[in-house]
Structure 1
Amino acid sequence: MAGISTNTHPSTAAEAGMPIARSYTGPLVVVTLLFFMWGFITCMNDILIPKLQQVFELQLWQAMLIQTAFFGAYFIVSLLYFIVSVQQGDPIMKIGYKNGIIVGLVVAAVGCALFFPAASLASYGFFLGALFVLASGITILQIAANPYVAILGPPQTASSRLNLTQALNSFGTTIAPLLGGYLIFEGVAGAAASSGAESVKIPYLALAATLLLIAVLFKAFRLPRLHSAGTVVAGSGALKYRHLVLGMICIFAYVGGEVAVGSAFINFARLPEIAGLEELEASQFLAFYWGGAMIGRFFGAVALSSFKNNLHRFLIIGLIGCIAFLTVYYFMGLDLALIALGLIVLNVVVLLLGGYIPSRTLGLFAATVILLLVVAIFTQGQLAMWSIIGIGLFNSIMFPTIFTLAIDGLGKYTSQASSLLVMAIVGGAIIPPLQGAVADISGNLQLSFLIPLLCYAYIAYYGFAGYKPKTDPSAV
C-alpha cells in the first residue's frame, strides 16, 4: 500500500486536533500550484542554456553548467538538511509543513530576483549563483510539499494524489518552453536584443513576484497543520528503513533515466537513420515526450484513486484519452494523432494489468520502458523515434509512486526521508553526461540508451520487490 501508515505517522488528523472526515480538497488545490511552478521553473533552464550560451559565447559544456548548478543544489541542500536532522532533529517537523513550504517559496523568489543583477552585471557566474539559490528554494519545497501531499488524506490514495499534483508539474514543463521561449527570445528581445542577457530580467522578476504571491496565499490560507505533535527526534533513523534506502537509489535512477532520454532525444531524432529532422522540428516532437508524462500522470491519478466503481475510472480515463487524441489531431494531423492514440491505449492496458496497485504498476511501467528502449536501440526510422517518445507516457507515475512507496510507514522520520529522496534527484546531473560519454566513445548514440535502460531495470526491481518494507526495530 502506497503512502504513510496512519498507525505509525504522528501527524494524523486526530493528533492534529482535526475531525477525521475533514475534506482536504481545498488545501490540495493550493498545494498543486507549487508543483506547477517548480515544473515551469525547472524547464526554463532549457531556454536559458541556448540564450546564455549565445550571450557569453560559451562552449556547450560550459552552458550545461546551468543544469549542474540547478541539480547540484538538490543534492547539497538536501544533504545539509539531513545533517541538521541528524544532529538537531527534523527542521520541517519542528516548524510544520506549511511554514516549510513558505520558506521554500521565499528562497526560490530570491533566486529569481537575483537574475536582475546577474543580467545587469553580465556575469555568468552570478547567473549560476542565482540558479543555485533558486533551486535551493525548490529543494525545500520538494522536501516539504511531497510528503505533505502524501499525508493530506487517506494513505491508500497517496500515490493518486501525488500523481495528480505531478501531472500539473508536467503541465508546467510542457508550457514553459513555449511561454518562456517567447518572452526571452521574442516577447522582449526586440527592445533588449542589444543588451544581451537583459531579456531574462522581466520573465524572472515575474516569476519572483508570482512565488511571493503564492507564499502570501499560503500564509493566509487555513491549511491543515500536519506535523508532529510529539517530540522531534534527532539521529539518522530514516536510513534504517531498507525500502527507503532502495527508494533513494530508485529516485536517482528514475530522474537520471528520464532526463537522459529527454536530453538525447533531439540529437537522436536528427540521425538520418531515425528521422533526419531539423532541430526545430525535433524539439516539437520532444513536446510529445514531456506531454506524454502529463497525460500519463492524469491516468495514474485516476487509476490509483479511491474510486470504488471501475466504470467511473474507465469513463474519466477515456475522456482524458479523447482530449489528448483531439489535441494532437488539431495541431499535428490524423497520422500523428493515431500513433499517439496507440501509445495511449498501450499505457492504459498496462495500467489495467497493474490492477490499481502502485508497486505492481510501477514495475510493469518500468518493464514497458525497457522494451521501448530495446526497440529504439535495435531498430531505425519512425518506430525507433516513437518508441523513445512513448517512454514519456510510462515515466508518468514513476516519481510520485516511488516517493510514496519509499516513505511508507516512516512516521516521525517522514520529512527526513523526504530530504534524502530529494537529494537523490542528483541523478539528473550524473546519468545524462554518462550516456553522452558512452555515445562519444562508441560513436553510436543509439547504443548509449543502454545507460537509461539499466536505470529502468532497477526501477522494475524496486516496483516488484524492493519497495517491501523491512524495518530495523531500532528505527522506531
Structure 2
Amino acid sequence: MAGGAVSNSTYTSNTNTGAKPGSYLFPFILVTSLFFLWALIHNLSPVLIPHLKKACQLTDLQSSLIDSAVFAAYFLMALPAGAVMRRYGYKAGIIFGLCLYAIGAFLFIPAANSREYTFFLGALFVIASGLAFLETAANPYVTILGNPETATTRLNLAQSFNGVGAVLGPVLGAKFILSGTELTKAQMDAMSPVQMQEYLTAEAGTVKVPYMIIGLVVLVIALLFVVTKMPDVQEVADESIDTNKSTGSIFRHKHLIAAVATQFFYVGAQVGVNAFFIRFAKYSAGIPEREAAILLGWVAGLGFMIGRFFGTFLMSKVKPQILLTIYGLINVALILLAMVTKGYVAIGAVLFVPFFMSIMFPTIFSLGLRGLGKDTKFGSSLLIMSIVGGAICPPLMGLISDASNIQMAYVVPLICFAVVVWFGARGYKLDAAA
C-alpha cells in the first residue's frame, strides 16, 4: 500500500548481535526493493484500466474491476500470509510471495494472446496475492536490519521507494504499454472485422514484454533472497500490557470502528482518484492517454511522495487530527472544482489531490489505534482489512460513469474525503465524547 501501515509490534533478530557494520546492507537493499515492487504494480493499474478498456472493449464499470481484483486479493490473503509467516518464517514467505508475483506477471502473456478480460483479472489477483505476503514481511524485516536506534530512519527510507514506484509506474506504463493509438468510434466502425481483430490483438499484446520483464526481474530478486543469509524475525511481547486481563469486545472502541470505516473510504478515494485519471483527462481536457499517464506519474506521484515528507514535518507543529481535517477539506474542495470545471483547471485540481492524500493512511491508522492496549493487534488487523475499500469504490465510479460521465463519477471520492474530514474533526475522539 502507498500509505505504509504503522506497526505497533516489536521485533528482534536471532542473528549474531556482533555482526560487522554494513553486514546487513545487502539484505536491506533486497527488502527495500520490495517496497518499490508493490508500488509499481499499484501504479500501473491506472494505465491498465484505459488500456484494457480499449483492448478488451469494456465499459468503465468492467475496467474498474482491475483494482477490485488487486484489493480483493489483499483482503482475502492477508490472514493466510500471516499464518504462513508464523509457521515457515518471513524469508520463506517473501520468496513464496515473489514467486506468486512472477507467476502472475507471466500470466499476462497468455491473457494477452486470448484477449480474455477474466484472464487478466486472474493474473492480477495472483500478483496481488504475492504482494500481500511481501507487505506482511517488509516492515518488520526493515526494522531489524541494523541498529535498533535507527530503525525508524530505515523504515522511512524504505517507504520512500513507494513514492518512486508512484512516479515511475505511470511513466513506464505510458512508454511501454500505452500505444498512443486512440481511434474514434467512427474510425472503428469503418474497420473490417479482420482489421478490428488485428487492432485489438496488437493493443492487448503491448503488455507482454513489460510484464515478462517484470516477472524475470522478480524471479531474480527471489533467487537473491534464496542465496542471501537473512536474519529471522521474532516478535517480542509488550510486557507493559497485561495479556491476562480481559478488556471486553473490540467494538467498544468507537473511535477504532470510526477509523476502520474511514480507512475503507480513504483507500477507496485514493484508488479511485488515480484509477480513472487518464479517462478523466481525456474527457475534460482532451489530453491523450500517454500524456495523461506521464502527468499522473510526474505530477501526482511526485506530489504524493513530497507530501509525505512535508506532512511529516508539519505534524511536528500541528496536531495530526487537525492536519487530517485540513487536508480532507482541501481535497473535498479540489474534487468539487474538478467536477464543475473543464480543461486544465479540472486536471490540475485532480493532480493536486495526491499531495494532500499523502498523510491520510498512516494518520487514520495511528489515531484509530490510540488507547487500545491489548486490543492493538486486533485493531491493526481490522484497519489493514479495511483497504478492501479499494475494491469497492472504483466499480461505483465506473457505474456512475457509464450512466453519466467520468467527471460525475468523482462524486465517489468527494464523499470519501468528506468522511475523512468527519473523522479528523470528530470521529477520532468518539470514546472521549462518550
2:45 maps to amino acid: N
- Of 395, 399, 412, the match for 1:433: 395
Distance of aligned partners of 1:113 and 1:245 in 2 relative to their CA distance in 1, 3 Å threshold = farther
Q: Where do 1:73-92 residues align within 5 Å?
A: 73-78=73-78, 81=80, 90-92=83-85
Q: CA separation in 2, counterparts of 1:400 and 1:99?
A: 28
Q: CA separation in 2, counterparts of 1:416 and 1:15?
A: 26
SS of corresponding position for 1:75? helix
Say if 2:406 is the partner of 1:458.
no
Q: CA separation in 1, counterparts of 2:263 and 2:156?
A: 15
Q: CA separation in 1, counterparts of 2:391 and 2:69?
A: 9
SS of corresponding position for 1:355? coil
Is residue 363–residue 463 contact of structure 1 (8 Å, CA) maintained in 2?
A: yes
Other-structure match for 1:253 = 265
Distance of aligned partners of 1:91 and 1:151 in 2 relative to their CA distance in 1, 3 Å threshold = same
Is residue 15–residue 229 contact of structure 1 (8 Å, CA) maintained in 2?
A: no
1:296 maps to amino acid: G
Say if 2:93 is the partner of 1:100.
yes
Other-structure match for 1:207 = 214
Is residue 262–residue 419 contact of structure 2 (8 Å, CA) maintained in 1?
A: yes
Other-structure match for 2:224 = 217
Unmatched segments (≥5 aa) in structure 1: 304-350, 471-476
Say if 2:295 is the partner of 1:285.
yes
Distance of aligned partners of 1:132 and 1:396 in 2 relative to their CA distance in 1, 3 Å threshold = same
Superimposed CA distance per residue, residues 96-115 of structure 1 (whole angstroms, 9 cap, x where no aligned partner): 44433332222212211222
Other-structure match for 2:191 = none
Other-structure match for 1:111 = 104
User: What is the TM-score normalised by the length of structure 1?
Assistant: 0.66
Is residue 115–residue 127 contact of structure 1 (8 Å, CA) maintained in 2?
A: yes
1:68 maps to amino acid: S
Q: CA separation in 2, counterparts of 1:433 and 1:168?
A: 28
Q: CA separation in 1, counterparts of 2:97 and 2:132?
A: 7
Q: Where do 1:266-277 residues align within 5 Å?
A: 266-270=278-282, 275=285, 277=287
Say if 2:135 is the partner of 1:142.
yes
- Of 168, 173, 176, the match for 1:175: 168
Q: CA separation in 2, counterparts of 1:376 and 1:446?
A: 8
Q: CA separation in 2, counterparts of 1:397 and 1:469?
A: 21
1:394 maps to amino acid: F
Is residue 139–residue 422 contact of structure 1 (8 Å, CA) maintained in 2?
A: no
Is residue 258–residue 395 contact of structure 1 (8 Å, CA) maintained in 2?
A: yes
Is residue 35–residue 159 contact of structure 2 (8 Å, CA) maintained in 1?
A: yes
Distance of aligned partners of 1:263 and 1:134 in 2 relative to their CA distance in 1, 3 Å threshold = closer
1:258 maps to amino acid: Q
Is residue 250–residue 375 contact of structure 2 (8 Å, CA) maintained in 1?
A: no
Other-structure match for 1:372 = 334
Q: CA separation in 2, counterparts of 1:63 and 1:446?
A: 16
Is residue 167–residue 295 contact of structure 1 (8 Å, CA) maintained in 2?
A: no
Say if 2:36 is the partner of 1:36.
yes
2:359 maps to amino acid: I
User: What is the TM-score normalised by the length of structure 2?
Assistant: 0.72
Distance of aligned partners of 1:434 and 1:407 in 2 relative to their CA distance in 1, 3 Å threshold = same
Distance of aligned partners of 1:289 and 1:423 in 2 relative to their CA distance in 1, 3 Å threshold = same
TM-align CA RMSD: 4.5
Q: CA separation in 2, counterparts of 1:413 and 1:259?
A: 29
Query: Once the 2 structures are TM-superposed, how far is the Cα of residue 138 of structure 1 from its aligned partner?
Result: 1.0
Distance of aligned partners of 1:180 and 1:436 in 2 relative to their CA distance in 1, 3 Å threshold = closer
Is residue 74–residue 422 contact of structure 1 (8 Å, CA) maintained in 2?
A: no
Q: CA separation in 2, counterparts of 1:123 and 1:359?
A: 46
Other-structure match for 1:423 = 385
Query: Once the 2 structures are TM-superposed, how far is the Cα of residue 420 of structure 1 from its aligned partner?
Result: 4.0
Distance of aligned partners of 1:265 and 1:45 in 2 relative to their CA distance in 1, 3 Å threshold = closer
Distance of aligned partners of 1:35 and 1:163 in 2 relative to their CA distance in 1, 3 Å threshold = same
SS of corresponding position for 2:207? helix
Is residue 67–residue 391 contact of structure 2 (8 Å, CA) maintained in 1?
A: yes
Distance of aligned partners of 1:201 and 1:75 in 2 relative to their CA distance in 1, 3 Å threshold = same
Distance of aligned partners of 1:211 and 1:453 in 2 relative to their CA distance in 1, 3 Å threshold = same
Distance of aligned partners of 1:54 and 1:405 in 2 relative to their CA distance in 1, 3 Å threshold = same
Query: Once the 2 structures are TM-superposed, how far is the Cα of residue 283 of structure 1 from its aligned partner?
Result: 4.1
Distance of aligned partners of 1:111 and 1:284 in 2 relative to their CA distance in 1, 3 Å threshold = closer
SS of corresponding position for 1:227? strand
2:80 maps to amino acid: Y
Query: Alignment length, in residue pairs?
Result: 397
Superimposed CA distance per residue, residues 24-43 of structure 1 (whole angstroms, 9 cap, x where no aligned partner): 98455433211111111223
Is residue 150–residue 161 contact of structure 1 (8 Å, CA) maintained in 2?
A: yes
Distance of aligned partners of 1:266 and 1:107 in 2 relative to their CA distance in 1, 3 Å threshold = closer
Q: Where do 1:157-172 residues align within 5 Å?
A: 164-172=157-165
Query: Once the 2 structures are TM-superposed, how far is the Cα of residue 393 of structure 1 from its aligned partner?
Result: 0.8
Q: Where do 1:38-57 residues align within 5 Å?
A: 38-57=38-57
Other-structure match for 2:68 = 68
Query: Once the 2 structures are TM-superposed, how far is the Cα of residue 293 of structure 1 from its aligned partner?
Result: 0.8
- Of 381, 388, 396, the match for 2:350: 388
1:112 maps to amino acid: A
Distance of aligned partners of 1:387 and 1:50 in 2 relative to their CA distance in 1, 3 Å threshold = closer
Other-structure match for 1:318 = none
Is residue 39–residue 173 contact of structure 1 (8 Å, CA) maintained in 2?
A: yes
SS of corresponding position for 1:44? helix
Other-structure match for 2:360 = 398
Superimposed CA distance per residue, residues 62-105 of structure 1 (whole angstroms, 9 cap, x where no aligned partner): 34333332222222223x639xx7xxxx4434444443333222
Query: Once the 2 structures are TM-superposed, how far is the Cα of residue 285 of structure 1 from its aligned partner?
Result: 3.5
* Stretch moving more, 414-423 or 165-174: 414-423
Query: Once the 2 structures are TM-superposed, how far is the Cα of residue 18 of structure 1 from its aligned partner?
Result: 5.0
